[in-house]
Structure 1
Amino acid sequence: MRVEKILLYQTAFMTFWLVMAQFIEFADLYLLTNKMIPGWLDTGLNAIMRFCVLISKPGSLLLLLYLSTVVRTEF
């Protein structure tokens, strides 16, 4: 039961960050196409999108799982 629960949480976590990255990319492209966005905001949105994609990768999930395990065992 515990493994299925962890897998469900990890899948939901990855899906959430991937959807956020796609939404930010769509909004950035729409605003950039219509020239409604300043350059600094475009750079910021691209950085946030890259962060979302980085977090959604399986390797990042393993790192987060390791960090949370270490923190839980310390306290």
Structure 2
Amino acid sequence: MVFIAQMWFHDVKISIVIGFAIAINMTATDVSGITIPLIVKNMNLDSALSASVVSTTIADIVGFILFLELASVLLF
């Protein structure tokens, strides 16, 4: 993905921001995808129904905020 961003924008800083944001967002999504079903299961609820909604919401929020923070720190 970093290579595609480099070819598209022709700027190394933007490519680095996009690469870091994707890598950290994937890690945060993995962690939330593992921990949230375990927490929901310990509360004796159906983890298949509720965990996917919460995990997706957390992944979206973390990804958006992370990308904006990385861009503001590394580009300005």
Please classify the TM superposition score into its range, dividing by the shorter chain length.
Answer: 0.3 to 0.5
Using the size of structure 2 for normalisation, the TM-score is 0.46
Using the size of structure 1 for normalisation, the TM-score is 0.46
